[in-house]
Amino acid sequence: MSLEIPPGGCVTLSAPSGAGKTRLLRAIADLDIHEGHVYVDDRECGQWDAPMWRRNVALMMAENQWWGDTVGEHFARAETPWLQALGFDRDVLARQVSYLSSGERQRLALLRLLGNQPRVLLLDEPTASLDEENVTRVEALISSYRLESGAAVLWVSHDVAQVRRVASRHFTIAAGTFRAVSQ
Amino acid sequence: MKFISLSWFDLMLAASLIVAVAGLSLRLHLGLGKQVLIAALRTVIQLSLVGLVLKMLFENVHLLWMALIALVMLVAAGYEVVARQQRRFTGWWGFAMGTSSMFISTFTVTLIALTVVIRPDPWYTPQYAIPLLGMLFGNSMNGVALGLDRLTHTAWQQRAVIEARLMLGQTGSQAIADIRRDSIRSGLIPVINAMAAAGVVSLPGMMTGQILAGAAPLDAVKYQILIMFLIAAGTGFGTLAATTLASQRLFDQRHRLRLDRLK
């Protein structure tokens, strides 16, 4: 399979579970040993320092993880406008992670990732645990980040309506290959 | 003060107590009688063999013999460290880590104690070198085994957290830093407890032994303090070395978490 995403492009991917969507995203993020090649700006993954690669090719999983006590500990950078776009003010950085709702955690996990200003976003069902209002907010933030920074997005989603809203192209995985789906 | 030597008859008197326990177990259907007797027999055989080895060593003081004994102890300790792990490194890595961290901790500390602190002549005099090595191996082995077990076990459980940190662009050693710190702490807690409780909650074994052998209590206390410090230092260095080696081995050069290196 071969796929090229232009700067600012958003490609969505849906496939039955077990088809290898998450494995594909993990391979692109260089979290697992993999075959094949991934390029950003014509530079192959192996030519990048690995932590630098992952800061530029950011993977967001369906389940978010926290290790410190307060929200702020997890942020390299927290942009106030982004916090506001997702319905937070700066006070949230001092809050205890354990008191956050699952929706709040997911939104903050996205912000945490954007703090690295990635060139590529790999999203693995990022809105699966969110209510409608927050889905709209997250979609809007990703869109504006993508358009402002020119980041390329590869978005795994099962939500047909969401795919229609965000995708510039849509693919499924069938028999180990990408198949373009016309919209 | 006088040292009362024990005869084999004295030991048989003590053995009759063990037989009594075994008999009681048989009577009460505890199913422990056989185990107690076998364990008691092993104690007799193993310790007698060690006694013979020590007797031979004391009569033939030679650096080569000492080195050989130390090597055997090192390999056995390295093996024991691995044997206590719930999740072991595949291949020879676990054994290599256990042995090398035991080497760092025990050998260097014993060497310093013998050549700088106690200074017997020659410095490898078995009467001093063997008990020191034995106590250091025994104790730092616990610390190293606890620390390693905690590290690999937690890494296995917290895979998602470690990978989330990697995905934010942290290096492998940054991503596992918290877990490593906890592992070092759990390796050191027993020896810290032992130092804190020494003399108040428990009378340390070596001091008790020296007092039984007729040493003046204050001399025995000084040796015990020395040993406690050596054990704490050895455990500290060993646990640090083992968790450092292990946390490096858990990642590859692309900073991927490699749990496939555990089994």
- Is-contact B253 B178, C-beta < 8 A? no
Residue A177, classified by CB atoms within 10 Å of its CB into exposed (0-12), middle (13-18) or buried (19+), is exposed
Please choose, from the candidates A123, A147, A118, A149, the residue with its C-alpha nearest in 3D space to the C-alpha of residue A135.
Answer: A123
Contact between chains at A51 and B167 (C-beta distance less than 8 A)? no
Cβ atoms of B240 and B184 closer than 8 Å: yes
CB contact under 8 A, B256 and A32: yes
Q: Does B163 touch chain A (CB under 8 A)?
A: yes
Residue A131 has pLDDT above 70, yes or no: yes
- Contact between A11 and A172 under an 8 Å Cβ cutoff? The reply is no
Question: What pLDDT score was predicted for residue B105?
Answer: 87
C-alpha–C-alpha distance, residues A110 and A108, integer Å: 5
Closest-CA residue in chain B for A64? Answer: B164
For residues A107-131, average pLDDT: 92
Contact list in A for residue B252 (CB cut-off 8 A) is 33
Residue boundaries of the structural domains of chain A: 10-66+118-181
Asked if B155 has any chain A CB less than 8 Å from its own CB, the reply is no
pLDDT of residue B88: 92
- At residue A3, does pLDDT exceed 60? yes
The H-assigned helical ranges of chain B are 8-27, 33-59, 63-83, 93-102, 108-112, 126-157, 159-167, 172-175, 177-197, 205-212, 217-249
ipTM > 0.90 (yes/no):
yes
Residue of B nearest to A61 (CA): B164
- Quick check: B168 and A67 CB within 8 A? no
pLDDT by residue for chain B (263 residues), tens only, comes to 578 889 999 999 999 999 999 999 888 988 888 888 999 999 999 999 999 999 999 999 999 999 999 999 999 999 989 887 889 999 999 999 999 999 988 999 999 999 999 999 999 999 999 999 999 998 899 999 999 999 999 999 999 999 999 999 999 999 999 999 999 999 999 999 989 988 887 788 888 889 888 899 999 999 999 999 999 999 999 999 999 999 999 999 999 999 999 98
Q: What is the mean pLDDT of residues A111-130?
A: 92
| Contact criterion met (CB < 8 Å) for B254 and A30 | yes
| Residues of chain B contacting A66 with CB distance shorter than 8 Å | 161
- Per-residue pLDDT of A149-181, as tens digits, reads 999 999 999 899 999 999 989 998 887 778 888
Chain A 92-151, CB below 8 Å of chain B: which residues?
112-113, 116
pLDDT of residue A183: 61
pLDDT at A147 (0 to 100): 93
The C-alpha atoms of residue B214 and residue B56 are separated, in whole angstroms, by 24
Partner A contacted by B244 (CB < 8 A)? no
Contact state of A31 with B166 under an 8 Å Cβ cutoff: yes
Average pLDDT of span A14-42 = 92
Q: What is the pLDDT of residue B51?
A: 92
What burial class does residue B186 get, using C-beta atoms within 10 Å of its C-beta: 0-12 exposed, 13-18 middle, 19+ buried? middle
Please tell me the predicted confidence (pLDDT) of residue B100: 94
Question: What pLDDT is attached to residue B205?
Answer: 84
CB B102 within 8 A of CB B78: yes
> Would you call B257 and A59 a contact, using CB atoms and an 8 Å cutoff?
no
What does the pLDDT read at residue A163? 93
Mind listing the pLDDT tens digit for each residue in A72-103?
Answer: 999 888 888 888 888 898 899 999 999 998 88
- pLDDT (0 to 100) of residue B99: 94
Domain A10-66+118-181 has CATH 3.40.50.10480: no
- Nearest-Cα residue of chain A relative to residue B170: A51
Distance (Å, whole) CA B15 – CA A98: 58
What's the confidence (pLDDT) of residue B144?
93
Q: Which residues of chain B does A60 touch, with a Cβ-Cβ cutoff of 8 Å?
A: 167
What gap in Å lies between CA B101 and CA A127, rounded to an integer?
47
pLDDT of residue A102: 84
Task: Report the share of chain A in percent with pLDDT over 70.
Answer: 99
Determine the pLDDT at residue B47: 92
Which residue in A39, A15, A10, A27 sits closest to A151, CA to CA? A10
